[in-house]
Structure 1
C-alpha cells in the first residue's frame, strides 16, 4: 500500500487494442498472455524480466528483457538459502537495471511460471502491484513465434523505490508456522514432490528429509499443463484439484516448499486465479524448518541426499 494516491495504470494507455485472450480465472490482473505481450512489447513503460539463470539468459531471451535470478532477490545473511531480500537490496537491483516506479513489469521463465511467481510474491509483499506473469513463459512465447535475441539491452539507471508501507498479507515466517494450530479451518500445504514430502529425497540446502507435521501434500506442478503449453490449467480443473484435498475458499492456507519458490507459485494460483482470500507463503519453508533441530518433523522412509 502506498501513502500516495494511486494513478491509473500506464499499461492501459499503451494500446487501445482489446485484450486478446481472457482466461476464465478469478482475476487476470497479474497474468499476461503471449498474444498481448506481442501487441504491447514495444511500450517504453514495460520492463520484461527474464527470471532464469544468467548463462541460460545469455543464449536467448525475449527482446529488451533484463535478467534476474533467485540469488539476486535473496538475503544472504542467513545460514541457509532462499530467504526474501530486504527492500533496499531489491530497490538497488531495480535501479541498476533501469526499472522505474511507473513501469509495468512482465516476468517470464521456462518452468511453468514457478520462478516468476517468486518475484511476483516478493514485489507484492513490498507493495508493488504493477507486475504480471507471462502465461506459458518462454515455451509459449516461442510457440507464438515471439521474437528472441542473445543481445543484452542496458537501460539508464533509475531511482526505484517501493511504496513506504509493506503489504505482507501473503507472507508467513517461522514463528507463524511454529504457532500455527491446525484445525478444520486451517491447512498447512506442502507443494513439493512426493519423494521430498516422504523424506525419500533430501534436496541440497535442507538439513534433513521429511515434512512439517500436520501438513498435506499437493505438488505445485499439477497446476501446469507441462505436457503441452506450460500454461496454467483451466479454472475448473484447478479448483477441483484443490477441492480433492479439502482446500476450499473459507480455509486459511499456509503453503511451503523447499525455499518458498514453488509455494509462491501455489500462492499465485490460489489467490489470483482462484480467488482465495486467506493464503500465506512460508518464506523459509523446509530449508529453514529442517535447519532448526528442535522443531518436529515427520519422515516416512529412508532419506537419500540429492542436489
Structure 2
C-alpha cells in the first residue's frame, strides 16, 4: 500500500506541474494588473520577464513584426517574421488597407500558426507596428494576442535570448472565428459621414509636419489633414528616449484629457496608413479603458487619393520619399 500511495502522490505533483502555459500567462497578467501597472487592462500586454518564462511553451508563437532584412540579422529565439506588406490588400490602387480574412488565414497556415496559439508580437518602434497586427486580428475575432511592452529594445536590455537562425513550424489549417468583431474599425464612408461636434473627435495621430502639410509622405496623393481634425502625435504615449515602453496610466490619461479627448466622447483615429492610429486605439481602449474608439483603416493615404474629398493645409509642402 505504501508504494501505491507514493505513486499517487507523484501523479498529483506531475499534474500540478503540467499546468497549461496559457493559464499561467493569464494568471500572471491578472497579478500584474492588480499589483503595479494601473492600466485598465493588460489582457493584450506582456512584459519581457513573462515571455522569458513562457517562450518555449508549445502554444506560444512569437511574431517579429519588423522588416525581413532586420529580422534576419537578429531576433528573439523561436520568433517568426511577419511584416506590414504581408497583411495588406495589394489589389487596390493605393496601399495600407488591411488584408482579407482569407489572406491572413493562408499566411498563418503557411507559418504554422494554430487557432489555439497565443501570439506574442514585438517590434522596435514602441509597439507601433505590433498594434496594427493586434487591431487587424481583433477585427477578425482573434483575441489570443499580446504585445511585448518595450519590444526588441527592452528584450535586449533585459538580455533575452537572441539568434540569427529561424524556426520553421509545420503548416497548419488556421481559421478565424466565424464571427467578426469590427467595433474598432472605421471605413472611408464612416469618416465621410462624420458630424464633428462636442461629442465626436476626429484624431490625427501623425506628426505636426504631416498634419500641417509641410511634409507629404510617400504613398499619399496630397498633403495636409482631414478637415476638423485634432492633432495628437501617437509617439507621445511611449517613453522613446529610454525603454520604448508605454507611459504610465496617469501620464497617458493626462496626455489625452488635456486635449479634450475624454472617455465619454466618440473618437475616430487616423494617421498615414492606419498603423500609428492603431497604436493610439490600443492605448485608448486597452490601457485607458475608452469604449468608443474606431481606427480609420485607409487613413490619409485613402482620403488623399480621393480627389473629391476636402483637405486642409497650413503651409508649403515638401514631398518625402
TM-score range, shorter chain: over 0.9
Residue 29 of structure 2 contacts residue 42 of structure 2 at CA under 8 Å; is this kept in 1?
no
Aligned pair 1:57/2:71, yes or no?
A: yes
1:113-262 aligned within 5 A: 113-262=127-276
SS of the residue aligned with 2:269? strand
Q: 2:75, 2:142 → 1: CA distance?
A: 24
Residue 21 of structure 1 contacts residue 33 of structure 1 at CA under 8 Å; is this kept in 2?
no
Q: 2:61, 2:236 → 1: CA distance?
A: 29
Q: 1:11 to 1:184 in 2, by over 3 A?
A: same
Corresponding residue pairs, total: 299
Partner residue of 2:42 out of 28, 49, 55: 28
Residue 118 of structure 1 contacts residue 261 of structure 1 at CA under 8 Å; is this kept in 2?
yes
SS of the residue aligned with 1:48? strand
Counterpart for residue 5 of structure 1: none
* Structure 1 position 12, deviation (Å): 1.0
* Structure 1 position 16, deviation (Å): 7.5
Runs of 4+ in 1 over 6 A off after TM superposition: 14-20
* Structure 1 position 20, deviation (Å): 7.4
Q: 1:101, 1:276 → 2: CA distance?
A: 28
For residues 209-266 of structure 1, the C-alpha deviation after alignment (integer angstroms, 9 at most, x for no partner) is 1000000000000000001000000000000000111000000000000000000000
Residue 204 of structure 2 contacts residue 269 of structure 2 at CA under 8 Å; is this kept in 1?
yes
Residue 249 of structure 1 contacts residue 276 of structure 1 at CA under 8 Å; is this kept in 2?
yes
SS of the residue aligned with 1:58? helix
Stretch moving more, 13-22 or 68-77: 13-22
* Structure 1 position 11, deviation (Å): 1.1
Q: 1:303 to 1:171 in 2, by over 3 A?
A: same
Counterpart for residue 305 of structure 2: 291
Mind listing any 5+ residue stretches in structure 1 that lack a counterpart? 1-8
SS of the residue aligned with 2:73? coil
* Structure 1 position 24, deviation (Å): 1.5
SS of the residue aligned with 1:305? strand
Stretch moving more, 91-100 or 15-24: 15-24
Which one has a larger percent helix, Structure 1 or Structure 2? Answer: 2
* Structure 1 position 96, deviation (Å): 0.4
Larger radius of gyration: 2
User: What's the RMSD between the two structures over aligned residues?
Assistant: 1.4
SS of the residue aligned with 2:255? helix
Q: TM-score, normalised by structure 2?
A: 0.91
SS of the residue aligned with 1:272? helix
Q: 2:201, 2:111 → 1: CA distance?
A: 39
SS of the residue aligned with 1:94? helix
Stretch moving more, 10-19 or 61-70: 10-19
Q: TM-score, normalised by structure 1?
A: 0.95
Aligned pair 1:12/2:26, yes or no?
A: no
Q: 1:203, 1:143 → 2: CA distance?
A: 32
Q: 1:17 to 1:175 in 2, by over 3 A?
A: closer
Residue 19 of structure 1 contacts residue 36 of structure 1 at CA under 8 Å; is this kept in 2?
no
Mind listing any 5+ residue stretches in structure 2 that lack a counterpart? 1-19
Counterpart for residue 69 of structure 1: 83
